[in-house]
Amino acid sequence: MLEGIFSGLSTAVMPINLMMVALGCFAGTFIGMLPGLGPITAIALMIPITYGFDPSTGLILMAGVYYGAIFGGSTSSILINAPGVAGTVATAFDGYPMAQKGQAGKALAIAAYSSFSGGTIAAIFLLVAAPALASVSLSFQSGDYFALMVLGLTAVSAFAGKGQVLKAITMTLFGIMLSTIGTDPAAGVARFTFGNMDLVDGISFLLLAMSTFALSEALLSILRPTKDTRSDEERALKNLGSMKLSKEEVKTMVPVIGRSSVLGFFTGVLPGAGATIASFLAYGMERNIASAKEKLQFGKGSIRGLAAPETANNAACSGSFVPLLTLGIPGSGTTAVMMGALISYGVQPGPRLFVEQPEVFWSVIISMYIGNIVLLVLNLPLIPYISRLLALPQQLLVPFVLFFSLIGVYLVTFNAFDIHMMVIAAAIAIGLRLLNYPMAPMLLGFILGSMMEENLRRALMISDGSLAFLWERPITLVILLISALFLAAPLIGNLRLWMKNRKSVPNDGEI
Amino acid sequence: MSINRDKFGAMLFLCLALIYGFYVDDIPLLFGDEDAPFNAQTLPNALAWLLGVVSFVQLVMPANQEAGKLSSAFKGLKWGRVFQLGILMVFYGFSIRYLGFLISTTIFLVGGFAVLGERRIKVLLGASIPVVFIFWYLLTQLMGIYLAPGDIFEMLG
């Protein structure tokens, strides 16, 4: 293991990789600060740029972008109460009131130190947990993998939020359906191609990610114009105030960071839960354990209320890499995009990665730590300068995002059909977004669909068509039971709510 | 009577499940695969059933009042500009092969800026041409990606 760590360290500290971490954090922060664009878009936009790089460098760049985007989202949350990323919504609860009191600089510093500490502690956990889990998962069989994928997909749906569970399940199934388009890898027969040669290879993951996130988010910002917050952000940055923290404030932060890092990391490891749930859980936990006097400060600029979600969301980002790197199963939309990128580099994430390409495995983990340092040392002081880039007017920004998305996909295949396909996919994505359907489960379903089919096929062939493989091995059974529990809990909750409402509210004729 | 947004979505997906399920039978099977425990139709069949059941459940469950009505989801949207950008993207897809990267991308960017309200010629050209040339230089000279000149230039000799 030590050999692997040193090999990863030597890869991560190569000048090109250090430059990529810095560039990634910088670009991620900029995109994260833009209203409407999140980390998935930021990472998807980076994929075409990374094609010429080796897998470690590409992944290092994307890990930097991920952290940067989360930090950029925190900046907008604190300065103007407009979180660019769902994972930083809880940051605004106390960050924005602090900024209103003229302590925006201090709030940004608390966010940066908390993110750094959360990310660092989680990177250490990852250092220990990932190889251990990777070794265990080497004994997994096809049936176990199938069960794990079912768990990943059901967990994403279960954590989708109130009223969204069925929609998330629908989108997951839709994603798996899209993955069946093209040639069946086992039988070699065409499925749902309708005689179109351009569909024989199936839909590319990059095309789907770009059109459902980058393209549709950019077009939605035109379709549903929201208040342009960039001038407010610039104004807020002019009155940052001091970024220095007193000894008392640091003392208050330290235990919060410790608790929230652990909570954030383990929440991130769970498939489906991620930075958003981790940040809310950490905020709630801090408020619950605070004294009555401190509780009153929550929502009015409490240091604990700001440090907790910021620590937890960064720790969760690192945690979400555990299932990706060790099992080859992404637990969130963001890690699904990263997995798509890895596969396109010719690297198959999973337990074999740890054995066969330890330099990729370890360099990613170590670059996360470096990314946290870059965020603290470079991004925090550079925030006022990064924000100047926000002055780019929307009428110029949107066509650039469209261009980078289209050309990024076109450069892979040099097939104009892909551009037209992207327009269609973006139009469908916009329609579904307007109907309030989440996009991340679809992406996850799409990427796991073909792997799930392959593992199910293998498991059924081995068991001679019997479904007994689902309960023969205790580990398969336990994973499937957990999946059933994940799925049943929100559905039972919905059903109970429906029964309750049925008794009290008469139907108003709406279908 | 107005339709609930969630119900409309569920209806769309129910239709999708039916259409998808209908075309599952068109998937050719290799000789002997019909009786195999898993063939090319197995997963698509299961997916069609699952999506059908999930969307049907959503359709018959009582309306989620928080979702609002379908009309409210589509109210006040600026379709015009998005539609024009869509046409521009389709045109970009057609033109990139014939006009080549440099010309088609410049047209796309200038068109995009113009659709979104930019009218100053200096900005239209100043923000597009240098970016296109820098990007072209990065791709062809630094990354070694070959970008074929447009078919039109080959036709012109």
Q: Does B52 contact chain A (CB < 8 Å)?
A: no
Interface of B with A in 90-149 (CB under 8 A): 90, 92-94, 96-97, 105, 108-109, 111-113, 116-118, 123, 127, 131, 135, 139, 143-145, 148
What's the rounded Cα separation, in Å, for the pair A481 and A289? 33
Residue A402's pLDDT band (boundaries 50, 70, 90)? very high
The three-state secondary structure class of A182 is: strand
Q: Report d(CA A253, CA A55) in Å as an integer.
A: 37
| Separation CA B157–CA B155 (nearest Å) | 5
Does residue A335 carry a pLDDT above 50? Answer: yes
Q: What is the pTM of this model?
A: 0.83
Q: Which two tokens stand for residue B104?
A: 């088609």
Distance from CA of A101 to the nearest CA of B (A): 35
Question: Residue A182: its pLDDT value, please?
Answer: 94
Instruction: Mention every residue, 6+ apart, whose C-beta is less than 8 A from residue A293.
Output: none
Q: Residues of chain A with pLDDT > 70: what percent?
A: 90
Domain residues of chain A, as ranges? Answer: 2-392+401-502
Q: Does A167 touch chain B (CB under 8 A)?
A: yes
d(CA A94, CA A96): 6
The mean pLDDT value of chain A amounts to 83
> Given this model, what pLDDT does residue A102 score?
82
Pick from A162-166, A188-192, A434-438: least confident: A162-166
Per residue in A155-182, pLDDT (tens digit) is 777 767 667 888 999 999 999 999 999 9
What are the pLDDT digits (tens) for A475-505? 889 989 988 888 887 777 767 777 776 666 5
A71 with A28: CB under 8 angstroms?
A: yes
Q: What share of chain B is helix, strand, coil (3-state, %, to 5)?
A: 70, 0, 25
Residue A291: band (very low, low, confident or very high) from pLDDT cuts 50, 70, 90: confident
Residue A508's pLDDT band (cuts 50, 70, 90): very low
CB contact under 8 A, A177 and B66: no
Coil vs helix vs strand at A197: helix
ipTM of the complex: 0.93
